[in-house]
Amino acid sequence: MADYLPHTPAEIDEMLTFLGMDSLDQLFAHIPPAVRLTQGLDLPEGMSEPDVAALFTQYTSANQAQASEMTCFAGAGVYDHEVPAVVKMLAGRSEFVTAYTPYQPEVAQGVLQAIFEYQTLISRLSGLPIPNASLYDAATGLVEALNMAHGATTRQKMVVSAGVHPHWREVAKTFARGTGHDIVEVPLKDGVTDWASVDATNAAAIVASYPNYLGVLEDMSVAKQLAVANDALFVLGADPVAAGVLKTAGQWGADIFVGEGQPFGTPLAFGGPFLGLFACTTEQTRRLPGRIVGETVDSNGRRSFVTTLRAREQDIRREKATSNVCTNQTLMAVTAAIQLGWLGTQGLREIATRCAQGAHYLFDELVKIDGVRTVSTQPFFREFALHLGRDASGVLLTMANDGVLGGVSVAALTGGPDPSIEGDLEDVLLVTVTERRTKEEIDRYVEVLRKAVGQ
Amino acid sequence: MTGRALSGGRAASAPLLGHETEPTIFEMSVSGRSAYQLRTTGVPATALADLIPATHLNGDVVNIAEVSERDLVAHFTRLSHRQFSVDLGMYPLGSCTMKYNPKFCDAVANDPGLNSVHPGAPAELTQGWLELLATLEEKLCAVTGMAAATLQPAAGAAGELTGLLLMRAYHSANGDPRRRILIPDSAHGTNPASVTLGGYEVTTVPSNDRGLVDLEKLKASLGPDVAGIMLTNPNTLGLFEEEITEIAAAVHEVGGLLYYDGANLNAILGAVRPGDMGFDIVHMNLHKTFATPHGGGGPGAGPVAVSKRLVEFLPGPKATRLDDGTFAWVKPSRSIGRVHGWHGNAMVLARALAYIDVHGGDGLTRVAKYAVLNANWLRQRLSDTLPAAYDRVCMHECVLTATPLKNKYGVRGLDVAKALLEEGFHSPTVYFPLIVEEALMFEPTETESLQTLEALAEAVERIAQRAIDDPDALHRAPQTTPVSRVDEARAARHLIPTEDAASR
């Protein structure tokens, strides 16, 4: 028996006496006996912290794919970037960690100002003026973008490139069950969206990814023109690290930017909590999902920050709200602001450049291996897909024995046939390189993969 | 009892070094300064222009602040000093369950054996995570009395929408998705917002004079087009819906499903389970009941547990225990699909499992008992100053009203809430639920001591005395906080969401 409850037996008695009661059970006496739990919960007895810590080693020791055992070349929207001690310590400050949503701005300026700084950074990275205060992750951010496009156009058809991450597309389809959106997927040819193959008439949104999930850099002006020609909104899912060197969503003419903010200070974390980045044009401000922080003044004229445009939100507009989002991912947004402060202008360009350099160096070595060929001949940024000529999942397990997490199997990502891949899907491996990978590690990867594919 | 109110939860001694505002990080920026340090990699430093066509390069348009590590630390440390938190003091914010967050649970989740694992790694290499998730699912089902759960929803509202999509899938499989969802007038705003996104229409059910669902009016609203009802029990007034079995029977009678909004699950741990009350779908806010830290507004986690007839529709893939003792990702046969980019907020899930393991079934039962004890003690203790909207035994929270102070002295609930900040306490939830005039909703939680509760009560009494002596001062409260009341109308009228908008 271990817990965090301060009550002494004497205090419990005193409190019950104050209430005119003689037992704690009396507090629950108005619950109908027919539904009361009589046997207690079917769970083991409580344990002390060190005992639970010992129990948890059975989980931690069974995860072979952890950093101390394997060098990570897996990406697919989740990247192994440097997170320095200073960012971990600042983001771990309990004032940020144990605060609630900033409903009382007088005592929440810390979180509010950090969100304001985060919003400024997301606005700059996206090239769009109206950011929000965060969403759950990129996939659910895409759903909000589609809802915004529906709100702006009253149309239901969403034309989505198959270059958008398979999980994002699946999440969009799940939520379309409720909204009734008609999701039309556009296949890829040579890793590039074949926009000409689809009828975009009456589309609410044209949705693309930059780079696309296979790492390919597509010319986004094609998607933009399609959106303009059909009076649709252009929704661009973009890698926010790429914005260090590549054109921003705003530069490509996007109306809505969504992205995954995990690369900014959040560990791989088995997929969550991550950070849904979102920004849009001023035309869409009133349709913004979730929270937004704005600058104002207090009654003494001092600069202050407060959540604003609250009339869009669920607690006020209820069934007419622009979104149901309440709790979002504030701590990850604060973390991103700190991480970007650490990187600065030069640091962001540097990691983006190093990712590209490492990925291209590895790519050039891998395509020399017999039987390994590229999925796309088009330019890429930090990630690329290869046909291995044999089952990618099996290759990954073989590579794991040599301490290399070789990438992500595309078939495992798509979970079935998918318009993003021409030809065999099972043998496609998605590989990434971040600024943390050394030449020695990359050279070793080449040898390990060569062995795994039997060359 | 005066004199023993030297409590752990009152934060009035928090130091402040001045009343200036903190500059933004952009204002502190000096071109050419930097903090970052990267690995020496030895990778050939090929020029970017030789790797990527020029049409893709942005011309170095993106600027971030440029600060030293020392300034970065000073800036965010000072911001943290301008922020209230559970670690600093009591946060009696009704409906939000701001209990103490055990540090142990954070430490367990932050183990590299969990947090350095890539979510796309093959299941064979992540067996520990899959076992952890499958184990948590089993334990959450034991707490709620349900058959199976999805851990994917990232927060309570995401869980609500997932639940509604499950209702839609279930009814559609029976030939008709149906049209309406019933919601009590005391419900959280996320409920109706989720209903709309689930493709349903809201029918509001009024509360009766006891603050409970009006059973007769509920029955009158029922029909074959009703997909289900969303209920919070105890409801947002902190009151247990005593006619829950009758409500369940009536809704099931027309083929509808019952959705349990787990916002208030903390009140009933070990006392009664949603499954035993007849609920078909339950979401849990792990960041409330299971003490994972709120992070200033997330991350949360909103797992959804369901009764047997809905199991095959759950989102997936799910971490599943196989007969041979290993674990695999398995998609339920008629799954609605993913509701999260990966496997949910995994680190939050790990914290919640650690919390459950430390407490065990016995500890969780005590959690609910002491939470309810604290709320009732506070309700009774404050009854002369802020009477309860419904004066009888409450559960884990109590909704009080400032109407007497307003009528006599013109001091509103908001004034009381703001004045409490000067007293070293966070405000209660203000003006919710909407059906109570001048509502102040206090949720002390089980981790606050009797001394802290007494200190809070004395603070409220001092504010009530100030209402008599100098009500105008209360309208101006708080004055001792980093900023005073902010001009919210101005923020909305002239939106400045970024530094760049501010400088235009």
Is A37 within 8 Å of chain B by CB? Answer: yes
Residue written as tokens 């999925």?
A375
Please indicate, yes or no, if residue A24 is contained in any of the structural domains.
no
Please indicate, yes or no, if residue B80 is contained in any of the structural domains.
no
Joined together, the tokens standing for residue A122 give 């997301």
Task: Specify whether A90 is located in the same domain as A216.
Answer: yes
Q: What is the extent of the structural domain holding A354?
A: 71-79+344-452
Nearest to B46 among A57, A344, A357 (CB): A357
Contact B423, B469 (CB under 8 A): no
Mean pLDDT of chain A: 96
For an interface test with A, which of B27, B79, B434 has the most A Cβ atoms less than 10 Å from its Cβ? B79
Please indicate, yes or no, if residue B409 is contained in any of the structural domains.
yes
Question: Are B496 and A318 a contacting pair at CB < 8 A?
Answer: no
Q: What is the extent of the structural domain holding B122?
A: 105-358
On the question of pLDDT at B374 being above 60, the answer is yes
Nearest to B100 among A4, A120, A438 (CB): A4
pLDDT band at residue B504, thresholds of 50, 70 and 90?
low
On the question of pLDDT at B1 being above 50, the answer is no
How many domains does chain B fold into? 2
Please indicate, yes or no, if residue A31 is contained in any of the structural domains.
no
What pLDDT, on a 0 to 100 scale, did the predictor assign at position B186? 87
Task: Specify whether A428 is located in the same domain as A384.
Answer: yes
The torsion region of residue B28 among left (phi > 0), alpha (psi -120 to 50) and beta comes to alpha
Report d(CA A166, CA A413) in Å as an integer.
6
What pLDDT, on a 0 to 100 scale, did the predictor assign at position B9? 85
* Residue partners of B162: CB distance under 8 A and separation at least 6: B150, B152, B153, B283, B302, B304, B315, B336, B339
Task: Specify whether B392 is located in the same domain as B336.
Answer: no
Is B3 exposed, middle or buried (CB count within 10 Å of its CB: 0-12, 13-18, 19+)? exposed
User: Could you tell me which chain A residue has the CA closest to the CA of B432?
Assistant: A315
pLDDT in tens, A340-370: 999 999 999 999 999 999 999 999 999 999 9
Question: Are B120 and A412 a contacting pair at CB < 8 A?
Answer: yes
Task: Specify whether A324 is located in the same domain as A355.
Answer: no
Ramachandran angles phi, psi of A447, nearest 5°: -65, -40
Task: Specify whether B399 is located in the same domain as B346.
Answer: no
Contacts of A312 in chain B (CB under 8 A): none
DSSP state of A249: T
Contacts of B52 in chain A (CB under 8 A): 217, 245-246, 356, 379, 381
How many domains does chain A fold into? 2
Task: Specify whether B338 is located in the same domain as B213.
Answer: yes
Task: Specify whether B167 is located in the same domain as B261.
Answer: yes
Task: Specify whether A140 is located in the same domain as A275.
Answer: yes
The CATH number for A277's domain is: 3.40.640.10
Question: Are B298 and A330 a contacting pair at CB < 8 A?
Answer: yes
The predicted complex's ipTM stands at 0.97
Please indicate, yes or no, if residue B1 is contained in any of the structural domains.
no
The CATH number for B413's domain is: 3.90.1150.10
Task: Specify whether A277 is located in the same domain as A374.
Answer: no
Please indicate, yes or no, if residue A44 is contained in any of the structural domains.
no
Please indicate, yes or no, if residue B205 is contained in any of the structural domains.
yes
On the question of pLDDT at B314 being above 80, the answer is yes
Secondary structure (DSSP) of B413-464? HHHHHHHHHHTT----EES-STTSTTEEEE---TTS-HHHHHHHHHHHHHHH
Question: Are B342 and A272 a contacting pair at CB < 8 A?
Answer: yes
Please indicate, yes or no, if residue A446 is contained in any of the structural domains.
yes
Task: Specify whether A126 is located in the same domain as A237.
Answer: yes
Report d(CA A50, CA B447) in Å as an integer.
21
Please indicate, yes or no, if residue B305 is contained in any of the structural domains.
yes
For an interface test with A, which of B203, B265, B483, B496 has the most A Cβ atoms less than 10 Å from its Cβ? B483
Please indicate, yes or no, if residue A37 is contained in any of the structural domains.
no
Alpha carbon of B469: minimum distance to chain A alpha carbons (Å): 22
User: Could you tell me which chain A residue has the CA closest to the CA of B130?
Assistant: A59
Task: Specify whether A143 is located in the same domain as A248.
Answer: yes
pLDDT in tens, A440-451: 999 999 999 999
pLDDT band at residue B502, thresholds of 50, 70 and 90?
confident
The reported pTM is 0.97
The CATH number for A383's domain is: 3.90.1150.10
Task: Specify whether B234 is located in the same domain as B336.
Answer: yes
User: Could you tell me which chain A residue has the CA closest to the CA of B151?
Assistant: A272
